[in-house]
Structure 1
Amino acid sequence: MKKEKKFRDIDSTEKVALAAKWLDDKQASDIVMLDVQGLCSITDQLVVCSARSVKHAQSLADHLLDQCSKENLEFFGIEGRPSGEWVLVDMNDVIVHIFQSDVRDHYNIEGMWSEAERTDYQGE
């Protein structure tokens, strides 16, 4: 008997583009996608963006999870939502970092992954 899949299986490149679009739909700023395949052992893609406020960061994270549910995409969890300064959404092969601008500058995720192929999201 073949076990039916619970979640839709899509390529990480497609998933990272969806995540960036969903963030853009809710006015996240400075959205950057980093391809870390071969550089990182826990994920294939990263998305980094900035939020205007704590409530905005929380709303962005909630929107991502809502969209994953609607699209039947697997996600593992969320960290940092209560403080809203740095919210991490784990979508398995895509990890999304939602920052307040000053916190983003401090941790410099883009600099940490400078060898990764970087794409600045331009919107649609």
Structure 2
Amino acid sequence: MKTKAKKFKQIETVDKVQLVAEWLDEKQANEIAAVDVQGICPIAEVVMVAGAKGMRHAQALADFVLKRLAEENIEYLGMEGYKAGEWILLDLNDIIVHIFQDENRGFYNVEGLWSEGTRMELNITPQE
């Protein structure tokens, strides 16, 4: 019996980063950042970080990104930290998305960990 392999949309990493940034921005994530970590991170090409106003906001951001990935037929591998909502990690294969409650973001300083990487320009309107 043949099993039918799931075919996911092939999308360039830079285009996927932009889509995810737009989705996070649409749901009012704070300070969305993306760092190109190719060559310095063995598990991803890009690390993205976004802030959330609280646990429910962090969960809503994660839910929305996963919903949109499914709608666009874009593969994702998994999620960690959803229940507590303090730090939610989404593994999109070539992109790792970190959603932090605002008060935890500075403590973990994910952007600082990847400071050797190149900060990517995101085409989103900065919030005031």
TM-score by length of 2: 0.90
The residue type paired with residue 69 of structure 1 is: A
State the Cα RMSD in Å: 1.4
Q: Distance in 2 between matches of 1:68 and 1:10?
A: 11
How far 1:5 moved relative to its partner?
Answer: 5.5
The residue type paired with residue 113 of structure 2 is: M
Q: Distance in 2 between matches of 1:114 and 1:34?
A: 8
Q: Is the 8 A contact 2:52 2:58 kept in 1?
A: yes
Equivalent residue number for residue 91 of structure 1: 92
Counterparts of 1:62-101 in structure 2, within 5 Å, are 62-101=63-102
SS of residue paired to 1:111? helix
How far 1:102 moved relative to its partner?
Answer: 1.9
Moved over 4 A (4+): none
Say if 1:122 and 1:17 are closer, same or farther in 2 by CA, change over 3 A: closer
CA deviation map 1:1-57 (0-9, x unaligned):
xx7651001111111111111000100010001000111110001110100010000
Paired residues, what number?
122
* Percent of aligned pairs sharing the same letter: 48
Say if 1:95 and 1:31 are closer, same or farther in 2 by CA, change over 3 A: same
Structure 1 unaligned segments of length 5 or more: list them.
none
Equivalent residue number for residue 116 of structure 1: 117
Counterparts of 1:1-124 in structure 2, within 5 Å, are 6-119=7-120, 121=122, 123-124=124-125
Q: Distance in 2 between matches of 1:30 and 1:81?
A: 20
Q: Is the 8 A contact 2:18 2:123 kept in 1?
A: no
Q: Is the 8 A contact 1:30 1:120 kept in 2?
A: no
Q: Is the 8 A contact 2:47 2:95 kept in 1?
A: yes
Q: Distance in 2 between matches of 1:5 and 1:51?
A: 32
Q: Is the 8 A contact 2:77 2:93 kept in 1?
A: yes
TM-score by length of 1: 0.93
Structure 2 unaligned segments of length 5 or more: list them.
none
